[in-house]
Structure 1
Amino acid sequence: MNVAVFGATGAIGQIVVVELLRAGHSVTAYARNPAKVPPSWPEKNVQLVVGEITDAAAVDKAVAGSDAVVSALGPSMDRKTTGLPLVEGTRLIIDAMRWHGVRRFVGNGTPSIVDDRDKPTLQQKLIGFVARTFLPRAYRELLGVSEIIMGSGLDWTIVRFIAPRNGPARGVRRQGFFGTDKIGIKVTRADIAAFTAAQITDDRYVNAAPAISN
């Protein structure tokens, strides 16, 4: 498959690209800054598209010819950031997917996004409270992005996690929904990326937002 990856040069996005290549897929990597592209990416299997996430023409170019889309984008935690660029960008991605007939979308999120299968726990409620109180702009952006994705009519999956950290993959040992499955706090970025990439060909969590942890 050819997979368009948005946020491809980010901490998780770079590993997603590696995981997709390892699985035999080709990648169209969307990046704002080409200087951040790892030199290890093989040119024959990675096509680079450069642009802001709000650049409709560039987003369309990245999605065209793809079989699936992965978004490893996350909201800025900088309090000086204004606007909701990821909301606009996600809308452009979804519009391009509809136009080009691409149905599979996999993204990343936090427990601030609620799945219908959740039975909200104190842990999840506390995370939402902290986000609303201390990072209101990022919280609004996450909610706006999730509303667009969940209402898209596409085959979507949002992979949720709480406390990403660096380090080698340890394996996703807990997955599912809050209040039903026991979800831990920490998870490595390597495991987030591997789980995210695997959803491209796995239909277990289509139209669902599973939470994962080590």
Structure 2
Amino acid sequence: MNVTVFGATGAIGALTVTELLERGHQVTAYARNPQKVPATWGDRVRVVIGEVSDKDAIDSAVAGADAVISALGPSMDRKATGTPLVAGTRNIVDAMKHHKVRRYIGHATPAVLDPQEKPTPVTRLIGFMPRTFMRRAYDEITGMSDLIKQSGLDWTIIRFIAPKNTPKQLKVRVGFFGTDKLGFAVSRADIAALTAAQVDDDTYIGRAPAISN
């Protein structure tokens, strides 16, 4: 399949591009900084450079896609202002609708609830901390997710708490708070693998599964 990845040069985004290539997909990577594009991609990846505010570049990146992955995440810089990723996500959704692309896979934290979940001590904690100490980032991740949930697209939002730069683990737990046993730490490589797997798997359409090791 043809897959467009936003945030493609980030820690999880780059791993997701690699996973997609290993699974035989064709990839378009959308990146802000051309200097961060890995040389190892070579000519295997179509690269589009642009900001999340660049509607024309986003439209070009989405054209011809069968699915879109967003590995975009809010900046933790306390000096950051506004919610540019909410507006950027809206641009992505508009481009998807323009090109009739329905499959969307994104990322969030358990501060965003699955539609069938009820709040648990863990989701309350993960919501309380950023809402209290990193309000801008909290507003951005919840704003992005709310927009996607209301988009009418075939969406999946993968949630995680404490990503680590560790290899893929033997034990991976995927499920929902309140019904499944989930931990906190998770390998970024495992997040990338689950993300890439959603491209041609409809198990979690309209759901927000959480992953941990």
TM-score, reference length from structure 1: 0.98
C-alpha spacing 1:177/1:64, structure 2 compared with 1 (3 Å): same
Tell me the number of residue pairs that the alignment of Structure 1 and Structure 2 aligns: 213
Distance in structure 2 (CA, Å) of the matches to 1:131 and 1:117: 23
C-alpha spacing 1:203/1:116, structure 2 compared with 1 (3 Å): same
Distance in structure 2 (CA, Å) of the matches to 1:72 and 1:106: 9
Distance in structure 2 (CA, Å) of the matches to 1:163 and 1:144: 20
Distance in structure 2 (CA, Å) of the matches to 1:172 and 1:96: 37
Structure 1 residues 67-78: aligned runs within 5 Å: 67-78=66-77
Q: Would you say the 8 A contact 2:172–2:190 is kept in 1?
A: no
Structure 1 residues 151-170: aligned runs within 5 Å: 151-170=150-169
Task: Give 1:159 deviation, angstroms.
Answer: 0.2
- The answer for the alignment partner of 2:174 in structure 1 is 175
The secondary structure found in structure 1 opposite 2:40 is coil
2:145 pairs with 1:146: yes
Segments of 5+ residues of structure 1 without an aligned counterpart are none
- The answer for the alignment partner of 1:5 in structure 2 is 5
The secondary structure found in structure 2 opposite 1:47 is strand
**After the TM superposition, which parts of structure 1 deviate over 3 Å for at least 4 consecutive aligned residues?**
none
Amino acid at match of 2:5: V
Distance in structure 2 (CA, Å) of the matches to 1:29 and 1:37: 9
Q: Identity of paired residues, percent?
A: 63
2:193 pairs with 1:191: no
- The answer for the alignment partner of 2:26 in structure 1 is 26
Task: Give 1:119 deviation, angstroms.
Answer: 2.7
Structure 1 residues 16-55: aligned runs within 5 Å: 16-43=16-43, 45-55=44-54
Q: Would you say the 8 A contact 2:130–2:138 is kept in 1?
A: yes
Residues 98-121 of structure 1, C-alpha deviation per residue, up to 9 Å, x if partnerless? 010000000011001011222322
Task: Give 1:167 deviation, angstroms.
Answer: 1.2
Segments of 5+ residues of structure 2 without an aligned counterpart are none
Amino acid at match of 1:186: A
Distance in structure 2 (CA, Å) of the matches to 1:120 and 1:184: 16
Task: Give 1:52 deviation, angstroms.
Answer: 0.4
Task: Give 1:79 deviation, angstroms.
Answer: 0.7
Distance in structure 2 (CA, Å) of the matches to 1:100 and 1:36: 28
Distance in structure 2 (CA, Å) of the matches to 1:180 and 1:209: 13
The secondary structure found in structure 2 opposite 1:40 is helix
